[in-house]
């Protein structure tokens, strides 16, 4: 009678060596799904910082994030004073007429002090930097928007599957 | 931190290649860093940016971000990316012998 021993595959031999140096990021793909100022700026600034460092940047605007690249909304983005857990005022006060515009004005002033431009100029800077700016086809259909409703810096309108193709090798961020 | 030979001089740089003492910088060092980082030979448009960066940093105490450069040095944003394709935010400061800018814009 012969016995056979089943050998377990040696996983340690094939595993990547622990000492491998971390690879630098070469491409970031950022999904912007909200358009209040506190949610719009982080994606735009992260994309810009990527380009400044020589990292490719792709932006995909979907759902409310579409407002950020919609011609008649881009200059009217505001801060949400209701339903925003970071707002240092009671929700009932935040709901009073005029509160949103006061909060928005204050944030825009604070941003200008840091040399952060208005959203329209951010989009122009990103376009000039070579970042790719895409709108989500499904969200466009949902809101009844056409290409002519978007700012001219938009590079195209994509399905989610197209977006993944454009994001090959990228690190993905959802905001 | 390490010491490296630039233009025949021992120069101190940090882990990311930025000079740790900007007073050690010379235009010859700038040419060498430009070659090393793939920017290539520096032309007068590069020098417009680098000169502005050094002057502005001396006045403000911190290297300028890209928006500041494009507004005040007379070089459009698009051109900055043509001059320093692999990341003008870092490269302009590094070639100008300045620290990495803190500005994200």
Specify whether B104 is catalytic: yes
Q: From the list A54, A117, A128, which residue is nearest B78 (CB)?
A: A128
Of the residues B8, B16, B104, B105, only one is catalytic, namely B104
Tokens of B2: 């390490």
What mean pLDDT value characterizes chain A?
Answer: 88
Per CB-CB distance under 8 Å, the chain A contacts of B103 are 115
CATH 3.20.20.70 corresponds to the domain A25-74+117-174: no
Distance from CA of A82 to the nearest CA of B (A): 29
Asked whether residue A15 carries a pLDDT value surpassing 90, the answer given is no
The residues, any chain, with a CB within 8 Å of residue A99's CB and separated by 6 or more, are: A81, A89, A93
> Three-class SS string for chain B?
CEEEEECCEEEEECCCCCECCHHHCCHHHHHHHHHHCCCCCCCHHHHHHHHHHHHHHHHHCCCCCHHHHHHHCCCCHHHHHHHCCCCHHHHHHHHCCCCCCCCCC
Asked whether residue A3 carries a pLDDT value surpassing 80, the answer given is no
- Where chain B has pLDDT below 70, the residues are none
- Give mean pLDDT, residues A31-54: 94
pLDDT at site A87: 80
Distance from CA of A144 to the nearest CA of B (A): 33
- Percentage of chain A lying above the pLDDT 70 cut: 90
What is the ipTM score, two decimals? 0.89
pLDDT band at A11 (very low <50, low <70, confident <90, very high): low
């Amino acid at each position: 009678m012969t016995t056979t021993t089943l050998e377990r595959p040696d996983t340690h031999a094939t595993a990547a060596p622990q000492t491998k140096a971390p690879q630098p990021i070469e491409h970031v793909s950022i999904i912007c799904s909200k358009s209040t100022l506190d949610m719009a700026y982080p994606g735009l600034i992260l994309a810009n910082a990527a380009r400044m460092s020589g990292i490719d940047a792709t932006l995909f605007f979907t759902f409310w994030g579409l407002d950020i690249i919609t011609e008649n909304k881009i200059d009217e983005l505001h801060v949400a004073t209701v339903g925003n857990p970071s707002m240092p005022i009671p929700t009932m006060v935040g709901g009073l007429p005029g509160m949103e515009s006061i909060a928005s004005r204050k944030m825009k002033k604070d941003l200008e002090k840091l040399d952060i431009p208005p959203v329209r100029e951010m989009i122009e800077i990103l376009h000039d930097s070579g970042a790719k700016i895409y709108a989500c086809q499904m969200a466009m259909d949902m809101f009844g928007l056409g290409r002519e409703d978007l700012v001219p810096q938009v590079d195209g309108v994509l399905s989610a599957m197209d977006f993944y193709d454009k994001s090959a090798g990228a690190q993905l961020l959802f905001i | 931190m390490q010491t490296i030979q630039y233009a025949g001089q021992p120069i101190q740089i940090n882990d990311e290649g930025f000079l740790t003492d900007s007073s050690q910088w010379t235009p010859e060092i700038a040419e060498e860093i430009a070659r090393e980082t793939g920017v290539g030979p520096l032309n007068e448009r590069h020098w417009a940016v680098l000169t502005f960066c050094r002057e502005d940093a001396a006045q403000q105490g911190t290297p300028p971000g890209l928006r500041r450069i494009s507004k005040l040095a007379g070089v459009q944003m698009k051109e900055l990316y043509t001059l320093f394709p692999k990341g003008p935010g870092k490269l302009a400061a590094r070639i100008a012998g300045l620290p990495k800018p803190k500005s994200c814009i």
